Amino acid sequence: MTFKFRSRFTVFIHDLLMVPLAWFVAFWLRFNLESIPDEFLSSATLSLPVVIGVQVVVSWFFGLYRGVWRFSSLPDLIRISKAVVTGMLLIAIGLFFYNRLQGIPRSVMPLYAIALLGLLCGPRLLYRLWKERCLLQSDGQRALIIGAGAAGDMLVRDLLSNADSGYLPVVFADDKLNKLNREIRGIRVAGTIDQLPTLIKRWNIEAVLIAVPSASHEQMRRIVEICESCKIPFQTLPSVKDLLSTQVTTANLRKVVIEDILGRDPVRLDWRSIKSHLQDKTILVTGGGGSIGSELCKQLARVMPRQLIIFDQCEFNLYKIDAELAQHYPNLAQVAVLGDIADRRTVEQVVMQYRPDIIFHAAAYKHVPLLEQQVREAVHNNLIGSKILAETAVAAGVKRFVLISTDKAVNPTNVMGATKRAAEILCQNLNQTTATEFITVRFGNVLDSAGSVVPLFREQISAGGPVTVTHPDITRYFMTIPEACQLIMQAETAGQGGEVFVLDMGEPIKITYLAEQMIRLSGKTPGQDIAIEFVGLRPGEKLYEELFHDQEQLIPTAFEKLRLAKARIYDSREWAERIELLQQACQQADQSVILGLLKQLVPEFQQQPG
């Protein structure tokens, strides 16, 4: 058998030898560190087998040999204390029945417990300190840890116990003044985050590890900007939400991504009401293979609906989400349907066959410049397709219909926005005249969605640039895809029919700032390593987006980050006549007539000259 100092057998032999040593030390202490009288030494020797037998059994029962000395900590100390105290009591009881404790002074028992506790704990802690000292003297980048909280403590513990981590924790930085100049696992909290440049120079730091999973995105943005100014590599732990099911270790460290600084604080949802409202329902998601639709399907799968119908016209996207759901939710009853929402026969067949309780309508064309030249296709898909789906839902007795809209529908300057605003009006009108409850959810850009600016910038940076920005002052609202989908479900739960819910998108972000941050996060310098070029606004594009119209008064709701826009009233009969004319114009493919009728449907539509 191979002999290892850290093996369970070695630990057992060590603890076994400590028992008689502690027993005789207790007698020695009892007699004031002088020679033990012969009669008491004889009693100690005769009772030794009982002491060893009882203590070994108790130690095994309490699991003293399961712990690894290198990771000895407070739980191990508590376990040893329990074993020692229990062993002392059982030994005293056993010897009392054996020989009435003859020749054994009463003070020996507590002295034995104290001596054994020290002999068992001392070597373990000394071994751990020795291993950590060896690790600190080993190779690795000298690291500064931002955040002297629980996450920072766990990260340092893992670094000290992992020789292959590649990092040597040297110093902490934390903004809490009551932690300054204190030490955590021998590592000093030497300053605040604003003092980072000074700390890096003073302590010869080679890398920064951000261990603040509870930081808001504004705080994270500040930390990242300071790290970037120091021109030093940095990594971060994921957010609290992402760490809930895992431990803090070096394996969790990753590069800071744009979502860390442009995303927003986690949404607090009423999952109980969402689950009770959506569970055991048949749900249809159109555009289920797209960025929003696919994430919405994943979120819905968590509440286990009776059946989930995924409808999309892109075969590959439909295949991907169907396979992913089948893998992660094998008990989910799901159906993948390939089809076009503007194909009335297909839509009627699907809705009538599966009889959904709720429809989430996420299918839409959304590329603004492209649709400026494809007016007929934009109207046919985004508006006429919505009309066909909504009318079919009414005929089939679908209880609730959720239209997923966009901030581009507010004071639209492009065809895409105008078609989405027309779809909003359509749903509001149908809500007044039918039993189906129509709910609209409106929000801005989502990070990393298909066709969005983030993947475009990522590709341009990978190619060496330049990164193209349309205008120096252009701004956009941003939200993560999971957050948007969760708020859509919350809006469906909260809605009674006829509402236009507006998601609180936070503060708008300058696209120039987004480009600069993505370049820096890739390890490059904007303007030096990778250029930023301003190419001018594209057809239909606005400098800034709006989430609500001047006549739509935003009303707070009981749910965080969910606002209610006061809906505007339209003459439903006149509006229905115009949309019928628009549908006929689409069949005739007369683009100029289509555009003119679209402007009549959406009076605030002011198309910019291309």
Give catalytic residue positions. 408
Task: Give residue 476's identity as a one-letter amino acid code.
Answer: R
Helices (H), 314-414: 315-328, 344-354, 368-372, 375-378, 385-396
Q: Using an 8 Å Cβ cutoff, are 193 and 103 in contact?
A: no
Burial of 34 (0-12, 13-18, 19+ CB in 10 A): exposed
* Helices 315-328 and 291-302: angle between axes, nearest 10 degrees: 20
Residue 554 C-alpha from the chain's centroid: 29
CA atoms within 13 A on the CB side of 229: 12
Residue 310 C-alpha from the chain's centroid: 25
Which tokens in the block code for residue 575? 């509006």
Q: Using an 8 Å Cβ cutoff, are 142 and 203 in contact?
A: yes
Q: 23: helix, coil or strand?
A: helix
Q: Closest Cα partner for 303 from 240, 233, 361, 358?
A: 358
What length is written for the chain? 610
Q: What does the alpha-carbon distance between residue 602 and residue 267 come to, in Å, rounded to a whole number?
A: 33
Strands 358-361 and 400-406: parallel
Which tokens in the block code for residue 523? 């390890």
How does DSSP classify residue 254? Answer: E
